[in-house]
Structure 1
Amino acid sequence: MHTKSLKLTRNNLIRRLIPILLLAAVLCQMIPAAKAYADAGVQQDSKVLLIYSTESGMVTESVRLLDLLLGQFSRSIVIKEDDEVTSSDLQGITHLAYYGGTPKTLSPEIVRWITEFQGPVLAVGANAEQLHSRFSFMTVGSDVYINRISKTDASTGEPVYQLLETNYPITQVTLSRGKALFNGLRGDDAFPLFVQYENSAYYAADNFYVPFDRFLSRGLTDLFGKQLMEDGHTAYIRLEDVHPMSDPKLLQQTGDYLADKGIPFMIALIPIYTNPETMQQVHLSDSPAIVEVLRHLQARGASILLHGYTHQYRASETGEGFEFWDVINNTPIWGPSDQDTKVKKRYEFSSKEEYDRYMQQLQAFEKQYIDNRIVSGIQELTDLGLYPLGFEAPHYVMSQTGYEIVSHYFNYLLGQVQISNSNWENMGESPYMSTPSFLHGMTLLPETVGYYDDTSFTPETDFDRKIEGMQFIEGSMMGMFYHPYLGLEKLQAFISHMERVPNLKWLDLKQMNASVQAPNITITTDAEGQIHYVNTAPRSEAKQVVKTLKKLGGVQLIMWGVAFLVAVMVLMFFLYTISMRMNLRKQLFEERNISG
């Protein structure tokens, strides 16, 4: 009777536990998904030859800026100094651009190739008068200074104006045919800024920085025949400088606010926080609360960005330092952070070969430094169930070599770009997405309207002014960022100003075919916004268990913990019943022997 009772109790307990264990397993596998909208659009089939004339014969900051602006309309750009161009360089070219960065006499071949080119041609800066047979619709004069820009509003047919911060020089152009998309103004006098006749265009400013980059870019949309969102704009927002010591409550409040409003957003994430006084490092894995919030927001639609590895190089605080540029020497990272690497000049070497070997050693150090940090960052994030879809250089600062290295890992770059290899302060941006040649296949999602500047007396007025500047050209991208430590109230004000922009479309990086590659790791997204992650690295069972536990959220961890405890209790119950049965048999056997 006693044995039968134990058996029935055990069977009833098992029948009750099985549904609970199955339900726990199913719940733990449920992953929420988020959907949003956006699309990327750089023309795939256009091929551009950019011919330049500069005083040094080398690629300058202006050439790179022009590369950046042309990259908004073509993924294939070849850049050649005018003396180096051959007829074969024009084979397969659909668009030709000439930049006169310095006055010089062009060779007859260059003049003929440009003037006789069958496709669209853009000329910028000096030497346009030598291309007269193609640009006979205009006459070039001396420089004039302007302080306003005007254009015709497409919907009303009335002129609209943008005031410049200072007087800027442009080349005076007189048109006999064609149209001026933009005019520069000085008093009552108007001077054509971007002019076009048939498939030939001329830009009268030798200035590609903000705001002149916008006027040239808008003109290029017509030359390339690109369709714009004429009745609206695209926008994106990043939650900036999130690291292991960030406040998880403020991060969740700001992220949930955006998700609740249906706004896709990005999180610029730094895997390691470095204390500048003790140099002690705190990894994300040391901050489970912030990791849980990050996974929660990723599930709600956030796109994670790798924002450096430590966001600092020397003894500076994470979020403040320049990780991929030595600002003390104003050079790329060419030596260890605990050493003051003074770069030698060419005259300090007896031969060019010796100097070249020296520079190769410095560049090899930079490559290894960047490779290690990018790979470590990707690995640490994915080990925690966080999947970076793009890269943002700390303070947007990185050498040209650095961009090439990063392009091996990411296909999207966020922010602005450094256009100089000798001065980190020379930065550029584009009003539309761009894939310039110096990014080696990466697409730039530009930051164009800045951030909520808590140090300003008029942060919202400043922000409105930047928005108005971008609204001056059709279909522009309004990229911005916000620091979660400023709290929810200021973010709400920030977003309220953006919501005044008519027909605003928020960009979702997850739906833009993001691709991330690292050793043994592949991360991709599709048009539906689904993230696909593959890790082919062999792992030990113990290490895999640890990684799996780290990826589980708080609720999932508790549920699996309960399931584990129940399983242990069931096992103990089985062992107990077996022990009882053996003891019972032993007692019966002993009683039988005593009874004889």
Structure 2
Amino acid sequence: MLALLVPVLSAPADAAPRDTRHGHGHGHDHGKQGSETVDKSSLPAPPRPQQARPTQRIVKPTVQRQKAPVRTSAGQTLAPANAKTAAGVKTGANTLVLYDATGPYAWLGEIYGTQNAQLLSHFGSWTAHPVGDYVAGEMAGFTAVFYAGSTYDEPLPVAFLDDVLADTKPVVWAYDNIWQLTARSASFGTDYGFMWSGFDFASVSQVQYKTRALTRDPQNAGGIMNVSISDPTKATSLATAVRADGTTFPWAVKARNLTYVGEIPFSYVTHDDRYIAYSDLLYGTIAPQTAERHRALVRIEDVGPDSDPDELRAIADYLKSKNVPFSVAVYPEYRDPLGAQHNGVPTTLKMRNAPLVISALKYMVTKGGTLLMHGYTHQFSNVVNPYDGESANDFEFYSAHVDPVTNSVIYDGPVPGDSYNYAAGRIASAFAEFAASGLPKPTIFEFPHYAGSAVDYQAAKDKVGVRYDRPLHFTGQLSGGAPDYTKTVGQFFPYLVRDVHGSVVIPENLGNIEPDQYNNHPARLPADIIATAQRNLAVRDGMASFFYHPYLGTAYLKTTVEGIQASGYTFVSAAAVQVP
């Protein structure tokens, strides 16, 4: 096996120093070069398989796994007692999420399980546990089953294989261990009309789905399982992998109750990734009758007491002229404790003492704006975290630093003194400042730089409720252990979900306009945002959601909004998507 790097997220949105070339207002400008997003996930693929062509066999555990006791829910659904069950944003569907949990990369299996579960929460409740704990007959109590095979030759219970082959429930199976399923059925190829042949390690940078060319990071060295369809009346190719030489092979295939995806779709994900195809395949499995609907969202980012009120009014006027509802992410107290933008003089400005900004925010509300809470100060204490301690530059709920060699922002873990009460206190202070300023009480929270600890996420859920960001999640959360902050990854969504922290999450999946490269992130212009929105049209009921910094003026915003509208999207308010 090849070694894998522990995933380390690089520069998040907004995580870049302010551009001070055009200072104004309180002695600095709002031209930050960063954004709240990560443009590429560093979540790795499973290791390169031990053999290009696996041995078709059922793998028995070398050490007998201690079977978890079985519990029965009120609905008579069997599940191991160690299973995690959570509600979704809808009612009706109830999915079973299975993941690999043995060997040195068991943590990776749990991460894939978490990401599967978060996507599936859009459709209803879910139950997740290691595949090795599967109980005979368990899938009968679920709408569908999703298994991510991330460990080569993970021992799979024969009961699980038999229940898949019984053809009674839809099953989506990704990547490894398909050879154990075919070993259990001598007639699999005849019955299902397709068969795997081995891992294909060719460079694949594109996956064709519907009419969309989606990207795939070629640094993904895990390979894709090549399958061939022998009977097109029984098996259908749903998406196609395109090699560098232009030749193709099925990336995902469906036959009878089984949808097989040749790789893990959660690794090395970018905005335009084949992850989009997988997100829509869930509709095909759980809700195939879903009608086409394409909605868009725009959020005006990093607005504080130090913002330029004229910029805010100009943006509100433009969006109103296009009948575009919008959100405004507000941090209600500005701090520059190290004087980074004030000649070394520590500076604080509360929203209540910024009457022109308060007036501009109220004006934005009259033009269709919804104010949300973007932390309290959008920075931490009086330290560099990771830039200069100034509001909107630094993290508030998570520690980070800039690697001096790679120039990437590295996540270090919870801030010193982090606790549920710390996060709840920051949120309470923010509410108090909104109230003192005469602004509407926000009902949506966005983590500064999209980062917080597990207890911070819990506090945000309890004190505010709905979030509008991309969550971090950590190993241990699905399996019931303590969060492991050395293995931290993020995820974005093309539709409303309820994440592993329990909050309903409004999606942001396009990123933001960023004219300049920063911290190893390339520039991102309106054409890039529009292209990503067009790729997301592959999701039959998906959203195109981006955010925008007001210091950029209105020209970029006009191009982006009108390009998204011309692509077939209708802009809606964040409130309109909180309930499916």
Question: What TM-score does the superposition give when structure 1 sets the normalisation length?
Answer: 0.67
Asked whether the 8 Å contact 2:301–2:547 carries over to 1, the reply is yes
Aligned to 1:172, the other structure's residue is in SS state strand
| CA shift for structure 1 position 113 | 4.0
| CA shift for structure 1 position 513 | 5.6
Give the whole-Å Cα distance in 2 for the aligned partners of 1:245 and 1:214. 38
Give the whole-Å Cα distance in 2 for the aligned partners of 1:143 and 1:206. 13
Asked whether the 8 Å contact 1:150–1:185 carries over to 2, the reply is yes
Q: How does 1:243-258 map to 2 (within 5 A)?
A: 243-258=304-319
Does structure 1 residue 101 correspond to structure 2 residue 159?
no
**Match of residue 148, structure 1, among 178, 182, 206:** 206
| CA shift for structure 1 position 333 | 2.5
Give the whole-Å Cα distance in 2 for the aligned partners of 1:218 and 1:294. 37
**Match of residue 445, structure 1, among 490, 503, 506:** 506
Q: What do residues 126-165 of structure 1 show as CA deviations (whole Å, max 9, x unaligned)?
A: 1122223686523223221323222344xxxxxx544545
Structure 1: unaligned runs, 5 residues or longer:
1-40, 154-159, 337-364, 515-526, 528-596
| CA shift for structure 1 position 424 | 8.3
Give the whole-Å Cα distance in 1 for the aligned partners of 2:487 and 2:297. 25
The 1:244–1:334 alpha-carbon spacing in structure 2 relative to 1, beyond 3 Å, is closer
Amino acid at match of 2:347: Q
Q: What do residues 226-268 of structure 1 show as CA deviations (whole Å, max 9, x unaligned)?
A: 44453x5211000000001101111111112212321010000
Q: Which residue is equivalent to 2:416?
A: 335
Give the whole-Å Cα distance in 1 for the aligned partners of 2:457 and 2:164. 31
Aligned to 1:426, the other structure's residue is in SS state strand
**Match of residue 455, structure 1, among 516, 526, 543:** 516
The 1:152–1:484 alpha-carbon spacing in structure 2 relative to 1, beyond 3 Å, is closer
The 1:320–1:286 alpha-carbon spacing in structure 2 relative to 1, beyond 3 Å, is same
| CA shift for structure 1 position 466 | 2.5
Asked whether the 8 Å contact 1:303–1:389 carries over to 2, the reply is no
Asked whether the 8 Å contact 2:144–2:285 carries over to 1, the reply is no
Q: How does 1:50-449 map to 2 (within 5 A)?
A: 50-54=97-101, 55-56=103-104, 57-58=106-107, 60-74=110-124, 76-86=125-135, 90=139, 92-103=141-152, 104-116=154-166, 118-132=168-182, 136=189, 137=192, 138-144=194-200, 145=202, 146-153=204-211, 161-162=213-214, 164=216, 166=218, 168=220, 169-176=223-230, 177-186=234-243, 187-208=245-266, 209-210=269-270, 211-228=273-290, 230=292, 233-276=294-337, 277=339, 278-314=345-381, 315=383, 316-328=389-401, 330-336=411-417, 365-383=418-436, 384-420=438-474, 421-422=484-485, 426-436=489-499, 438-440=500-502, 442-449=503-510
The 1:117–1:164 alpha-carbon spacing in structure 2 relative to 1, beyond 3 Å, is closer
The 1:321–1:140 alpha-carbon spacing in structure 2 relative to 1, beyond 3 Å, is same
Q: What do residues 309-344 of structure 1 show as CA deviations (whole Å, max 9, x unaligned)?
A: 1111143111111111111484433524xxxxxxxx
Amino acid at match of 1:324: F
Q: What do residues 393-419 of structure 1 show as CA deviations (whole Å, max 9, x unaligned)?
A: 111112334323322133422122223
Give the whole-Å Cα distance in 2 for the aligned partners of 1:193 and 1:449. 24
Of the structure 1 ranges 447-456 and 323-332, higher mean CA displacement relative to structure 2 is found in 323-332
Aligned to 1:217, the other structure's residue is in SS state helix
Structure 2: unaligned runs, 5 residues or longer:
1-87, 340-344, 384-388, 402-409, 475-483, 518-522
Asked whether the 8 Å contact 1:294–1:386 carries over to 2, the reply is no
Give the whole-Å Cα distance in 1 for the aligned partners of 2:288 and 2:346. 51
The 1:95–1:409 alpha-carbon spacing in structure 2 relative to 1, beyond 3 Å, is farther
Give the whole-Å Cα distance in 2 for the aligned partners of 1:257 and 1:424. 42
| CA shift for structure 1 position 194 | 1.8
Asked whether the 8 Å contact 2:527–2:560 carries over to 1, the reply is no
Give the whole-Å Cα distance in 2 for the aligned partners of 1:67 and 1:149. 23
Does structure 1 residue 497 correspond to structure 2 residue 563?
yes
Give the whole-Å Cα distance in 1 for the aligned partners of 2:142 and 2:576. 31
The 1:460–1:297 alpha-carbon spacing in structure 2 relative to 1, beyond 3 Å, is closer
Amino acid at match of 2:553: G
The 1:227–1:253 alpha-carbon spacing in structure 2 relative to 1, beyond 3 Å, is farther
Identity across matched positions, percent: 22
Of the structure 1 ranges 165-174 and 299-308, higher mean CA displacement relative to structure 2 is found in 165-174
The 1:89–1:271 alpha-carbon spacing in structure 2 relative to 1, beyond 3 Å, is farther
Amino acid at match of 1:191: F
Aligned to 2:375, the other structure's residue is in SS state coil
Asked whether the 8 Å contact 2:134–2:159 carries over to 1, the reply is no
Aligned to 1:454, the other structure's residue is in SS state coil
Give the whole-Å Cα distance in 2 for the aligned partners of 1:405 and 1:81. 28
Give the whole-Å Cα distance in 1 for the aligned partners of 2:435 and 2:196. 57
Aligned to 1:479, the other structure's residue is in SS state strand
Asked whether the 8 Å contact 1:265–1:303 carries over to 2, the reply is yes
Q: Which residue is equivalent to 1:531?
A: none
Q: Relative to total residues, which structure has the larger helix share, 1 or 2?
A: 1
Give the whole-Å Cα distance in 2 for the aligned partners of 1:105 and 1:480. 42
Give the whole-Å Cα distance in 2 for the aligned partners of 1:290 and 1:218. 41
The 1:237–1:205 alpha-carbon spacing in structure 2 relative to 1, beyond 3 Å, is same
Q: How does 1:531-570 map to 2 (within 5 A)?
A: none
Q: What do residues 346-392 of structure 1 show as CA deviations (whole Å, max 9, x unaligned)?
A: xxxxxxxxxxxxxxxxxxx4211111112222333244232212111
Give the whole-Å Cα distance in 2 for the aligned partners of 1:258 and 1:405. 33
| CA shift for structure 1 position 471 | 3.4
Aligned to 2:419, the other structure's residue is in SS state helix
Asked whether the 8 Å contact 2:467–2:504 carries over to 1, the reply is yes
The 1:295–1:322 alpha-carbon spacing in structure 2 relative to 1, beyond 3 Å, is same
Aligned to 1:274, the other structure's residue is in SS state strand
Give the whole-Å Cα distance in 1 for the aligned partners of 2:411 and 2:90. 36
Asked whether the 8 Å contact 1:244–1:284 carries over to 2, the reply is yes
| CA shift for structure 1 position 180 | 1.3
Aligned to 1:476, the other structure's residue is in SS state strand
Give the whole-Å Cα distance in 2 for the aligned partners of 1:92 and 1:381. 47
Amino acid at match of 1:468: Q
Larger Rg: 1
